[in-house]
């Protein structure tokens, strides 16, 4: 047998029915920012309908992995398939939620304006938003329980409300795969609850959700599939199999405080679980 | 002279009318482009581009002198467009590929291109028969040198800018707010950025004659920055910026036409600056005048609430008030007793009391005695309730003294969102029948013991 190292004849699109059912397939992806590698040979299949926690220390390449999926960061090598097709061909099925701090919230726009931006991709060049889009946007805001803030200037929203606005914007994209970059960062408890509820609803509707997350305490509670990343893929699989002391140690190295937190989370998760 | 000035102002002069039309179109185009340039946080890119037009203009100038052709404006503008675009692209390229920070890239491009232009002008001056007479109007702006054909050209380009912005407003908005989302939706972010650069280049070369290349950046930035004070809505900001840009160009052009030695660039920019200052002070959304007014109103309301609460608590401490809404004014409380409870003097108490009397919440009686009216009771009760809920929250959640809790509540009670109050209410309400919780530190009016009349102090 030949080794696994990239064969040059690999087809760009894998159109077999099994590949098309996999929401996200990452194959041997390597990414570097100006010579400094940030992702090394990551290979990963995310099963359909899973709620995925993407976890790793700072600088582990979590955000980069999401960005390379949406072709925002160039790959040095490797391939990403979304429902069996390259991103350019499957854009409409994916919604990406950047980090909240990545935009200027002083921008002259209302919450509704921001949510409407989610429909721009569908609208295409020159077409204006119509009443259909407006209704969809209001519906998404209502789902995030902030429809009463629709006309409020976004700088006057709280951090949690801003995050809800971002998620509502992802909702109007009506995607099948959601990528969320740290949606829980600096939000209030009520918003955190609302986001978890939303993720569960999306999952129940058959969507796949991948979430960059930082709080190891809540990882086993929020997600059912875990991807541990630290430049390389440490482990990926169902929560029960992957969320272990050993894997977390491999991911976080010698950072003891984090390990202790994780151990505590393990115990809290399931007292009967065998280590 | 006077007669000529009069003709300029009343637009009876055909030439002035035409030039005015040209500069107004320019002002509007610059105002519109500037809004997106500012929102994309690329304000200084315009500066680099405008300075980078100089070598292009100088090259064409040099070439037409050497070749003996008459200087043609469209050729000069073409040269400006080419070198301006090169400058803009160099900034983007330096940032993207060479990893130079954007501010450094802007500085490098601006100075290198401008330096090259100055060197070329030096060569022009050394040529036999060479003079830089025409060049100066490109640097400082001179509307008087514009001909009808120039105005048509400028006007056409300005209208083109207008059209592009109208067509691409949705795309530009998305690009400026969240380029990451735009990229993930498949919008060509780089091309849209280049289109924005192209608009800036166009505005710059249109503005070369009217404002000059050093000051054209002001026409891009100042109206857009001024417009931000007037609204939070992008559509209104665009309109306001276009209006301010157009008006600055018009007034500046007329001023320049009236004072012979005043370059139009300077006068247009100064007028725009005037608009900026007016907006900065009086702008409806962010002007500092309204901010001050708002702060003053808040402060007044705060003092009024404090007075109402003090009245209520003093009456409560002496058992003169209970949970049933009264139908007549409450017992008398002396202003002195109120002043003793707060760090106020009696004059302040009386001033605030008079404000409250006008609102019908407090009655001021002879000898500076105060009464809470039935309407005042309702408000005072609400204020007291909010204050105590917060106090309880502080006491229960943060280990602190009652005094700390009281002070903390004093600061925060005026800025709490209603939803938060609801939650506090749910957490601390003892029973449904007692919506105002008891104070954690009941008042003991100075010189009295609870239960005696507050007025005893006075006698």
- Contact at CB, A109 and B170, closer than 8 angstroms: no
Give residue-wise pLDDT tens across range B175-197: 999 998 898 888 998 899 999 99
Distance from the Cα of A236 to chain B's closest Cα (Å) equals 25
Interface of A with B (CB under 8 A): 34, 67, 70-72, 88, 91, 94, 96, 98, 102-104, 107-110, 113-114, 117-118, 120-121, 123, 125-126, 128-129, 153, 155, 169
The structure's pTM equals 0.77
Mean pLDDT of A157-171: 91
Confidence of residue B112 (pLDDT cuts 50, 70, 90): very high
Confidence of residue B80 (pLDDT cuts 50, 70, 90): very high
Would you state the CATH architecture of domain A22-267?
3-Layer(aba) Sandwich (3.40)
d(C-alpha A94, C-alpha A104), whole Å: 23
Which residues sit opposite A179 in a β-bridge? A96, A210
d(C-alpha A238, C-alpha B302), whole Å: 56
Give yes or no for a contact between B194 and B119, defined as CB atoms under 8 angstroms apart: no
- Contact at CB, A117 and B173, closer than 8 angstroms: yes
Backbone angles phi, psi at B365, to 5 degrees: -105, 170
Number of Cβ pairs < 8 A linking chain A and chain B: 69
Whether pLDDT at A219 is above 80: yes
Q: What is the pLDDT of residue B14?
A: 74
Mean pLDDT of B35-51: 91
Confidence of residue B452 (pLDDT cuts 50, 70, 90): very low
Chain A residues within an 8 Å CB radius of B177: 103-104, 107, 109, 114, 117
Closest-CA residue to B95 (of B45, B154, B143, B147)? B45
Give residue-wise pLDDT tens across range A179-204: 999 999 888 888 888 899 999 999 99
The CATH class of the B295-457 domain is mainly alpha
d(C-alpha A222, C-alpha A157), whole Å: 26
Same fold, B2-286 and B295-457: no
Mean pLDDT of B419-438: 61
Q: What is the pLDDT of residue B426?
A: 65
- Contact at CB, B177 and A153, closer than 8 angstroms: no
Q: Tell me the pLDDT of chain B averaged across its residues.
A: 82
B328 or A118, higher pLDDT:
A118
Q: What is the pLDDT of residue B451?
A: 41
Whole-Å CA distances, A157 to A163, A164, B15, B202, B414: 9, 10, 52, 37, 18
d(C-alpha B8, C-alpha A269), whole Å: 83
Question: Looking at residue B446, what DSSP letter applies?
Answer: T
Burial label for B294, CB within 10 Å (0-12, 13-18, 19+), is exposed
Q: What is the pLDDT of residue A158?
A: 87
Closest-CA residue to A225 (of A80, A29, A52)? A52
Whether pLDDT at B429 is above 60: no
Closest-CA residue to B417 (of A168, A158, A166)? A158
Give residue-wise pLDDT tens across range B384-416: 888 888 887 777 777 667 777 777 777 777 666
Q: What is the pLDDT of residue B9?
A: 61
Give residue-wise pLDDT tens across range B321-332: 777 777 778 788
Q: What is the pLDDT of residue B158?
A: 82
Chain A residues within an 8 Å CB radius of B167: 126
List all residues 6 or more positions away from B458 whose beta carbon is below 8 Å from its beta carbon.
Answer: B334, B336, B367
Backbone angles phi, psi at B148, to 5 degrees: -60, -40
ipTM of the complex: 0.81
Nearest-by-Cβ selection for B177 from A70, A103, A123: A103
Domain boundaries, chain B: 2-286, 295-457
Considering just the CA atoms, what is the radius of gyration of chain A in Å? 19
- Contact at CB, B177 and A72, closer than 8 angstroms: no
The CATH code of domain B2-286 reads 1.10.3470.10
Chain A residues within an 8 Å CB radius of B232: 108, 110, 153, 155
Give residue-wise pLDDT tens across range B130-182: 666 677 778 877 776 677 777 887 788 888 988 999 999 999 999 999 998 89
């Amino acid at each position: 047998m030949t080794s696994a190292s990239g064969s040059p004849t690999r087809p760009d699109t894998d159109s077999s029915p099994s590949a098309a059912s996999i929401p996200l397939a990452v194959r041997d992806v390597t990414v570097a920012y100006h010579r400094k590698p940030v992702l090394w040979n990551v290979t990963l299949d995310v099963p359909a309908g899973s709620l995925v926690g993407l976890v790793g220390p700072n600088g582990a390449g979590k955000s980069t992995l999401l960005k390379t999926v949406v072709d925002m960061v160039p790959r040095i090598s490797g391939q990403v398939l979304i429902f069996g097709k390259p991103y350019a061909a499957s854009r409409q099925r994916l919604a990406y939620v950047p980090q909240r701090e990545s935009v200027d919230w002083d921008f002259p726009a209302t919450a509704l304006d921001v949510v409407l931006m989610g429909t721009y991709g569908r609208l295409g060049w020159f077409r204006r938003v119509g009443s259909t889009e407006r209704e969809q946007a209001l519906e998404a805001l209502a789902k995030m329980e902030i429809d009463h803030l629709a006309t409020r200037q976004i700088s006057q929203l709280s951090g949690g409300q801003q995050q809800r606005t971002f998620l509502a914007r992802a909702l109007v994209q009506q995607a099948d795969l959601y990528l969320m970059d740290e949606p829980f960062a600096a939000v209030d408890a009520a918003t955190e609850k609302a986001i978890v509820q939303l993720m569960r609803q999306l999952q129940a509707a058959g969507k796949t959700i991948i979430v960059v997350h930082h709080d190891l305490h809540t990882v086993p509670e929020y997600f059912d599939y875990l991807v541990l990343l630290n430049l390389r893929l440490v482990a990926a699989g169902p929560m029960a199999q992957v969320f272990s002391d050993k894997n977390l140690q491999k991911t976080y190295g010698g950072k003891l405080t984090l390990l202790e937190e994780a151990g505590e989370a393990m115990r809290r998760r399931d007292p009967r679980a065998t280590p | 002279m006077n007669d000529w000035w009069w003709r300029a102002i009343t637009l009876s002069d055909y030439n002035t009318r035409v030039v005015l039309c040209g500069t107004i179109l320019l002002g509007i185009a610059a105002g519109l482009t500037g809004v997106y340039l500012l929102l994309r946080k690329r304000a200084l890119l315009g500066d680099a581009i405008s300075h980078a037009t100089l070598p292009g203009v100088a090259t064409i100038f040099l070439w037409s002198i050497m070749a003996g052709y008459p200087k043609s404006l469209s050729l000069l503008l073409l040269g400006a467009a080419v070198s301006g675009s090169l400058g803009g692209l160099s900034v983007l390229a330096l940032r993207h590929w060479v990893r130079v920070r954007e501010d450094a890239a802007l500085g490098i491009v601006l100075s290198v291109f401008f330096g090259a232009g100055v060197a070329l002008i030096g060569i022009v001056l050394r040529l036999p028969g060479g003079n830089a007479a025409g060049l100066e109007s490109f640097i400082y702006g001179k509307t008087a040198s514009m001909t009808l054909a120039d105005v048509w050209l400028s006007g056409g380009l300005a209208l083109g800018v207008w059209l592009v912005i109208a067509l691409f407003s949705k795309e530009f908005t998305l690009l400026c707010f969240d380029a990451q989302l735009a990229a993930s939706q498949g919008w060509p972010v780089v091309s849209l950025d280049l289109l924005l650069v192209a608009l800036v280049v166009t505005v710059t070369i249109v503005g070369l004659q009217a404002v000059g290349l050093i000051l054209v950046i002001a026409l891009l930035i100042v109206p857009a920055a001024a417009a931000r004070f007037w609204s939070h809505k992008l559509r209104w900001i665009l309109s306001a910026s276009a209006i301010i840009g157009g008006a600055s160009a018009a007034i500046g052009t007329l001023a320049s036409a009236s004072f012979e030695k005043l370059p139009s660039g300077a006068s247009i920019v100064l007028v725009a600056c005037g608009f900026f200052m007016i907006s900065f002070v009086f702008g409806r959304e962010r002007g500092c005048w309204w901010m001050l007014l708002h702060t003053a109103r808040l402060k007044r309301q705060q003092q009024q609430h404090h007075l109402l609460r003090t009245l209520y608590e003093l009456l409560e401490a002496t058992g003169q008030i209970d949970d049933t809404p009264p139908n007549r004014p409450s017992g008398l409380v002396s202003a002195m007793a109120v002043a003793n409870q707060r760090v106020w003097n009696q004059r302040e108490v009386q001033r605030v009391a008079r404000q409250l009397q006008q609102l019908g919440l407090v009655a001021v009686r002879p000898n500076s005695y105060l009464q809470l009216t039935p309407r005042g009771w309702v408000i005072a009760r609400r204020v007291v309730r909010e204050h105590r809920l917060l106090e309880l929250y502080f006491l229960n959640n943060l280990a602190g003294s009652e005094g700390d809790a009281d002070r903390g509540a004093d600061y925060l009670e005026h800025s709490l969102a209603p939803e938060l109050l609801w939650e506090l209410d749910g957490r601390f309400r003892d029973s449904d029948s007692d919506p105002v919780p008891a104070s954690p530190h009941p008042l003991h009016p100075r010189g009295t013991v609870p239960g005696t009349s507050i007025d005893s102090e006075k006698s």
